[in-house]
Amino acid sequence: MRMAMLMWLITGLASIGDVSVRARCAADDTDAPSAARPEPQRPESRPNVLMIAVDDLNDWVGCLGGHPQSVTPNLDAFAQRSVVFTNAHCQAPICNPSRISLLTGTRPSTTGVYYLGPLLRQCDSTKDAVTLPQHFARHGYHTMAAGKIFHVEGKGEFDLYAGNMGGMGPRPPKPISGGHSHPLWDWGAFPDGDELMPDTKIAAWASEQLAKSYDQPFFLACGFYRPHVPMTVPHKWFDLHPLDQVQLPAYTETDLDDVPAYGQDLSYSAVAPRHSWIVEHDEWRHAVQSYLASVSFVDAQVGKVLDALRTSAHADNTMVVIWSDHGLHLGTKQRWGKRSLWEDSTRVVLMMHRPEDTVGTKCNRPVELLDLFPTFNDLCQLPPVTGLEGRSLTPLLDDANAAWPWPAITSFGQQNHAVRTQNWRYIRYVDGSEELYDHRVDPHEWTNLAARPEYRGVVREHRRWLPQVNQPMAPGSVHADARPGSAADIDSDDAAQ
């Protein structure tokens, strides 16, 4: 009965255009185009790029298996024709440095941008960087974007930037469930209709651009805000996830017992509600429901854009990439939010489709968002850029089982790093404390093996991948201290995680 009701709801949503499928390509976004451009090539000579970014989306997507009750038909359908990187990780577990890293192709430990500030053009190490969209623009692409691509910037970074369409809004007159730790940390059914949601407007704008003709190849970036807090979407998305049937994520009371004190403090996130408050107020299941509903909502917006591409004249010459900027804890490790070096915070969605791809495949090699810049240089025949620290994913797009000796590295603050290989996660903090998890038998990272003598060789092997360059925090760094008793690490909507 429940399955029949679920299928009826999905079918009904599809009839009003909220659920769609398919896609066609890949890319990324960022900065301001150069004034001087070479003669544009014919649009069919190089692929167009459609890049879709989703804020705070962890692995609770059907094709990634992060939660058994995820309802994401559009992302799942896209996966059927794409390379799905199941072991992809961000370079920083918070929005601003993650996006700066992706869009400049450099690590946080190289730029010194570890936190919510400084922004890209405010920092000496990145203010003159040639970003991914800027590189496209300088070499004959028309660049367009709407929504959240950079952390807060956008205007002046593309040939055409349509704005944030309302960003994190709309907000209810008073908090629904949370809001006591910060106004953005709220969840529940709101507003009444999809048409009031900024992401709906972003999807409509992107679809309109795909219906147009262009005399040069285009780079179109579409940045969605949900499921970032507030986890509020219209009620119909909650209907897909009945509250009394919602399953909580895997959890153990003793999870933090073998985690170093520094790691516990670093992941505290002073702005997020405490897990004890969530449990005491019986909000855990409701918050998980709200996140699942938000994911289903944004999946539908992604589907609209993919459908617009599928029915456009650009379908056969556009590559699509879909990525999220980091993951999210919803009670795991007794944490809410990101801001940790554990799997739930660093693992991201990364899926890529080239025009010639007809069958989907999964790749479990450890890869980084940092790898997107050099990958697009390869696929779009762009000249190389000096200083890129990632590696082209082209070999893995051609063969998901190709040799890949490199790990994925995530940094959060100076000399705090996680090294993720195919089977292991190793974490080292600035005070020298360590964690080690064997994902073959411990996917939830419940047992820290770092101090056990029999794993000394594994620890030693992973230590060699730690970044050798560890720049201090860039001047203007803000919201760095999220430890117990610290000031909140979000102080405005514009500085939201």
How many structural domains compose the chain?
A: 1
Residue of 55, 132, 155 lying closest to 95 (CA atoms): 55
279-296 pLDDT, tens per residue? Answer: 999 999 999 999 999 999
409 falls within a domain? yes
Give the range among 27-36, 241-250, 304-313 with minimum mean pLDDT.
27-36
Across the chain, what does the average pLDDT equal? 89
Pick the catalytic residue from 89, 135, 151, 462. Answer: 151
pLDDT band (50, 70, 90) for residue 43: very low
Residue identified by tokens 């029999």 is: 454
User: Residue 492: what are its φ and ψ, rounded to 5°?
Assistant: -165, 165
Task: Decide: pTM greater than 0.85.
Answer: yes
pLDDT band (50, 70, 90) for residue 361: very high
Residue 63 has pLDDT above 70, yes or no: yes
9 falls within a domain? no
pLDDT band (50, 70, 90) for residue 483: low
135-146 pLDDT, tens per residue? Answer: 999 999 999 999
pLDDT the model gives residue 121: 94
DSSP bridge partners of 143: 219
pLDDT the model gives residue 25: 32
Decide if 235 is catalytic: no
308 falls within a domain? yes
Residue identified by tokens 């959060």 is: 412
Q: What share of the chain in percent tops pLDDT 70? A: 87
pLDDT the model gives residue 18: 41
121 falls within a domain? yes
Q: Are strands 160-161 and 142-147 parallel, antiparallel or unpaired?
A: parallel
Residue of 298, 21, 37, 19 lying closest to 159 (CA atoms): 37
pLDDT band (50, 70, 90) for residue 269: confident
Report how far residue 298's alpha carbon sits from residue 127's, in angstroms, rounded to the nearest whole number.
32
* DSSP structure string for 378-431: HHTTPPP-TT--S---HHHHH-TTS-----EEEE-STT-EEEE-SSEEEEE-TT
Provide mean pLDDT across the span 152-165.
91
Contacts 24+ apart (CB under 8 A), 78-81: 78/21, 78/22, 78/23, 78/302, 78/306, 78/320, 78/322, 78/351, 78/353, 79/351, 79/360, 80/359, 80/360, 81/22, 81/23, 81/353, 81/357, 81/358, 81/359, 81/360
Count of CB atoms situated within 10 Å of the CB of 401: 10
Residue of 410, 413, 417 lying closest to 479 (CA atoms): 413
Decide if 123 is catalytic: no
Report how far residue 347's alpha carbon sits from residue 408's, in angstroms, rounded to the nearest whole number.
10
52 falls within a domain? yes
Range of the domain at 57: 20-490
204-220 pLDDT, tens per residue? Answer: 999 999 999 999 999 99
In 3-state terms, what secondary structure has residue 79?
A: helix
User: Residue 295: what are its φ and ψ, rounded to 5°?
Assistant: -65, -40
H/E run at residue 321: strand 318-324
4 falls within a domain? no
7 falls within a domain? no
Which is more confidently placed, 5 or 222? 222
Residue identified by tokens 């946080």 is: 108
170 prior amide bond cis, ω within 30? yes
Provide mean pLDDT across the span 416-439.
98
Pick the catalytic residue from 95, 123, 222, 363. Answer: 95
230 prior amide bond cis, ω within 30? yes
CATH number at residue 148: 3.40.720.10
354 falls within a domain? yes
69-124 pLDDT, tens per residue? Answer: 999 999 999 999 999 999 999 999 999 999 999 999 999 999 999 999 999 999 99
Report how far residue 168's alpha carbon sits from residue 442's, in angstroms, rounded to the nearest whole number.
35
Report how far residue 99's alpha carbon sits from residue 105's, in angstroms, rounded to the nearest whole number.
10
Give the range among 56-65, 152-161, 191-200, 370-379 with minimum mean pLDDT.
152-161
Asked whether the beta carbons of 368 and 307 are under 8 A apart, the reply is: no
In 3-state terms, what secondary structure has residue 128?
A: coil
